[in-house]
Structure 1
Amino acid sequence: MAKFHIASPEDITAGKATDIYFIRAVEALKAAGLEDAVVRAEFHVASLPKGYKWAVYAGLKEALYALEGKPVTVYSLPEGALFGENEPLMVIEGRYVDFAVYETTVLGILRHYSSIASKAARVKKAARGKTCLFFGARVLHPAVQPMADRAAYIGGCDGVSGVLGAEMLSKRPSGTMPHALMIIFRALKGDHAQAWIWFDKTAPPDVPRIVLADTFLDEREESLMAARLLGERLWGVRLDTPGSRRGDMLKIAREVRWALDLAGYKDVKIVVSGGLDEEEVARLAEVADAFGVGTSIAFPPSVDISMDIVEVKVGGEWMPITKRGKLPGFKQVYDCGGKHIVAPWRDPPPRCPDGSTARPLMKKYMEGGKIVERMPDEDEIRQYVLRQLEAVEL
């Protein structure tokens, strides 16, 4: 009996993480003598979540690793590209029987990654340049924590709290302290403020001294206590007030800011966490200096990506064909200063409104199962996303 119901990397690359009807489709094609049918299958955006004008394409690296070694060719947008509805993201070319069972795997990777990265990007955009940290590890199954950390980082989050996810990103995990620390000091030492002192004593020197300031007393009072106790060593106070006591968080943050400034602690930053989404972050960005966001990024609305055959090779020629409701034919996506144009692959590049030639985004990443394009690291992908965010609105 399995202890953890998770797929191993070997299970994924072997095609076991699939839906049964793909296995049955392959069996039927082989029995009918159609195992050599060569197709182009397109992964595209069926729809975006309500209120979304764009989304972030993420998960390409893992999708390619899932297909590595299979006799297929893959074309794709670069990881981190912003996209809209009805845009192609990836195309797999090859014998259908050689990659059919990987449709479930690739769709799962691209949809999950893109959904998390898109929500992270929306939160980062709403923060108006303020720091955003991903605190979502605790709401996810441990097996997918590192994947969510990578997706959130690509999407624009400045750091992640997950230890394993940060390690895989070659980053230091970001975080402050749990309420448990203050509760234990209060119960056994009679003074929860001692938790701040011992945190200051034991945390590595380069870790910012950010303390929770909402455990037993009013946020304003605890923030002032912490500032007086730690002095110049205090980087910031984190407000994580539970919903039952929260009220208007913006008013609370304004009050804390006023009190700290009045007492001469203008350099002490305010970090807000707990139940935040992009709308609340946009409101609080007036006062807060940083945000810790977990659940809304970890469990975002799903970006609807689907895969459909768009061309079949017949007699050595490509025949555009697909089910109704879909656009047949192999396509290219062109960039015109942030605006995308989708056109048939064989057509010449279109002209942009300014007269320049549109830049193609879709390129070959895999040929014959071998990755042929350099894969950028996570910092490069994140910077690509942030540059694009400057030109779009929520």
Structure 2
Amino acid sequence: MGRFLMVGEDAIRAGRCTDVYFRRVVDVMEKDGVNPRVTMEVTATALPDPWGVFCGLDDVLRLLEGIPVDVDAMPEGSIFSANEPVLRISGRYRDFAVYETAILGFLCHASGVASAAAHVRLAAGGRPVYSFGSRRQHPAIAAMIERAAWIGGVDAASNTCAPEGIALAGTMPHAFVMCYPRPEDAWSAFAREAAPEVPRIMLCDTFSDERAEAVRAAACGATAVRLDTPRSRRGDMRAIIEEVRWELDVHGYPDVKIFLSGGLSREDVAAYRDVADAFGVGGAIANAPVIDFAMDIVEMEGRPHAKRGRRSGAKQVYEMAGRRVTLPLEAPAPEGGVGLLSRFIEGGAIRARPKMEDARERVLSRLSGLARRG
């Protein structure tokens, strides 16, 4: 451990960040000379929503690179449903047993964030959505959170440690406004001194009524006003937004947009998308429920072999026009069916690496159809 209480990459890669029983049983099996060839699949038997977004594969591949295993998986950004295998590992059990904890951690967490982001984007109905949850999670995983949120469809992220290629977005904190004698002084300073490419979005609920501050901020050069009103002071939020819009319009600022943030849920985004121009979403994405994946043996020494409650045998998921089907791996592909799991690692060697941009496009290309699916 270093200065902060967090696990380093070397410990994860060495299999030292694992549930203790894996280390204990591997030790027993080694002493007993037992090391069968197994195939394990990662599936979720239940989801928070009808569908999820598969994410976290890149970390899994980096973890298993050089380990003598084969890995087949859906591409990152794939849409999946309950009981569909999203990843399959084949190899000698002792060679990768201690990595199960990290594998599931990578996939469960990232897929949860990506799935939530996709559902929020759908709820926004075309309005921009920004990932503002950086302060709601441990800073050590900020890059992972922002990457998963971006794959899920957010338009930009707030954290400066977001992976390269993700646009950054942010406005100003209440503390900034409070550091000046008057809000007008803070807004004017921001309009004057912020870099030219930074949007002039002014926070307008620090001391006064939102509609009053919005008009005053517009006079100071705001291109958009951000309402971050805490729930304890909101009252009828729709009425507040509509009043702000009305006052901006009648005072000659029809082009000034309204940016809404402050503990927004997916339901809030859907409810206000007709009156707000953009959304900053925090915990609803960054603290999304994880996808409860499990990793189970489905074959032993090439034969179907599974515990109670799991379907034995390796499987493939096929997508056809309007439907999907999961079949035994050795079964003929259905007519017109496209297999979704493909080889990413063979004998420990990486055959393909996920590209973040491709994963994001994979999600965005499916959203209109998913909106109809629910």
TM-score band, normalised by shorter chain = over 0.9
Correspondence 1:373 to 2:357: no
Query: Over residues 71-121 of structure 1, what are the superposed CA-to-partner deviations in whole Å (9 max), with x where a residue is unaligned?
Result: 111000000011111010100010000000000000000000001111111
SS in 1 for 2:369: coil
Q: Which residue of 2 aligns with 1:386?
A: 364
Task: Give the letter for the 2:338 counterpart.
Answer: R
Correspondence 1:311 to 2:299: yes
- Conserved 8 A contact 1:57-1:81: yes
> In the TM superposition, what is the alpha-carbon distance from 1:32 to its structure 2 partner?
2.0
- Conserved 8 A contact 1:44-1:306: yes
Q: Which residue of 1 aligns with 2:340?
A: 361
Q: Which residue of 1 aligns with 2:69?
A: 72
> In the TM superposition, what is the alpha-carbon distance from 1:201 to its structure 2 partner?
1.6
Q: Structure 2: how far apart are the matches of 1:340 and 1:13?
A: 35
How many residue pairs were aligned? 372
> In the TM superposition, what is the alpha-carbon distance from 1:216 to its structure 2 partner?
1.0
Question: Unaligned 5+ residue runs, structure 1?
Answer: 352-356
- Conserved 8 A contact 1:156-1:382: yes
Q: Structure 2: how far apart are the matches of 1:201 and 1:338?
A: 53
1:1-394 matches, cutoff 5 A: 2-35=2-35, 37-49=36-48, 52-165=49-162, 168-186=163-181, 191-230=182-221, 234-313=222-301, 318-337=302-321, 339-351=323-335, 357-376=336-355, 378-393=356-371, 394=374
Q: Structure 1: how far apart are the matches of 2:250 and 2:321?
A: 47
SS in 1 for 2:107: helix
Q: Structure 2: how far apart are the matches of 1:337 and 1:157?
A: 27
TM value normalised by structure 1? 0.92
- Conserved 8 A contact 2:191-2:220: no
TM value normalised by structure 2? 0.97
Q: Structure 1: how far apart are the matches of 2:217 and 2:321?
A: 48
- Conserved 8 A contact 2:43-2:85: yes
Question: Unaligned 5+ residue runs, structure 2?
Answer: none
Query: Over residues 283-342 of structure 1, what are the superposed CA-to-partner deviations in whole Å (9 max), with x where a residue is unaligned?
Result: 0101111000011111112211000000011xxxx1101001001100001112353211
> In the TM superposition, what is the alpha-carbon distance from 1:2 to its structure 2 partner?
4.3
> In the TM superposition, what is the alpha-carbon distance from 1:374 to its structure 2 partner?
4.2
SS in 2 for 1:193: helix
> In the TM superposition, what is the alpha-carbon distance from 1:192 to its structure 2 partner?
1.7
Query: Over residues 331-363 of structure 1, what are the superposed CA-to-partner deviations in whole Å (9 max), with x where a residue is unaligned?
Result: 001112353211111111113xxxxx1111100
Output the aligned Cα RMSD.
1.2
Q: Structure 2: how far apart are the matches of 1:334 and 1:235?
A: 48
The alignment-based identity, stated in percent, is: 46
Task: Give the letter for the 2:218 counterpart.
Answer: A
Q: Structure 1: how far apart are the matches of 2:207 and 2:322?
A: 49
Task: Give the letter for the 2:303 counterpart.
Answer: M
Q: Structure 2: how far apart are the matches of 1:48 and 1:278?
A: 16
Q: Which residue of 2 aligns with 1:354?
A: none
> In the TM superposition, what is the alpha-carbon distance from 1:213 to its structure 2 partner?
0.8
SS in 2 for 1:85: coil
